Copies of this chain bind each other. A is one copy, B any other.
Amino acid sequence: MMQDVFQLIARAQAEYVRCIDDGDLAGWPDFFVDECIYKVTTAENHKRGLEASLIYAASRGMLMDRVASLRDANIYERHAYRHLLGQPYIVSEDLDVVRSETSFMVVRIMRDGTKSLFVTGRYLDAYVRNGNSVRLRERVAVCDSSRIDTLLALPL
């Protein structure tokens, strides 16, 4: 039975953030298809159409490299995230591609137990649909604030 697209995307989002928040970063690239774009930018840059971005990866291989470098820098050890997402807004739905927008809020928990509101923003996503399974072809994370400590950041 073909699932409702709203449900499908909502579940995919829940699974995605669970992967990151549980610290299973090695599994993160699997939410993307091989030829994909993952980009973190600011609302300011996005609005002006500027190409500048804080993080940019143009393939699943680059995402795997990023995970490896975070592991080597022991980023895993230093902090954890807790993502809270809004309901996805379905922008368009073709036979095999679903475009959606979803608000996010991420709390960062440091090793000493302190926590802070790390970043808020919205995901601009393009999902490739294959039956009842979806994978990201593009995720642009547009952060509301331009003050983000991205160098040391886990994926959004």
Enumerate chain A interface residues (CB-CB to B < 8 A): 4, 6-7, 10-11, 13-15, 17-18, 21, 43, 80, 82-89, 101, 103, 105, 107, 109, 113-117, 120-122, 144-147
Contact = CB atoms under 8 A, between A and B. Distances in A.
Given A14-B87, A21-B122, 4 more contacts: A18-B101, A21-B103, A83-B103, A84-B105
Chain A interface main SS type = mixed
B10 A7 contact: no
A105 B120 contact: no
Contacts of A13: 87
What are the 10 A-B residue pairs with the smallest beta carbon separation, nearest first? Answer: A14-B87, A82-B120, A113-B147, A109-B144, A113-B145, A14-B89, A107-B120, A113-B146, A18-B89, A10-B87
A81 B83 CA distance: 17
A109 B103 contact: no
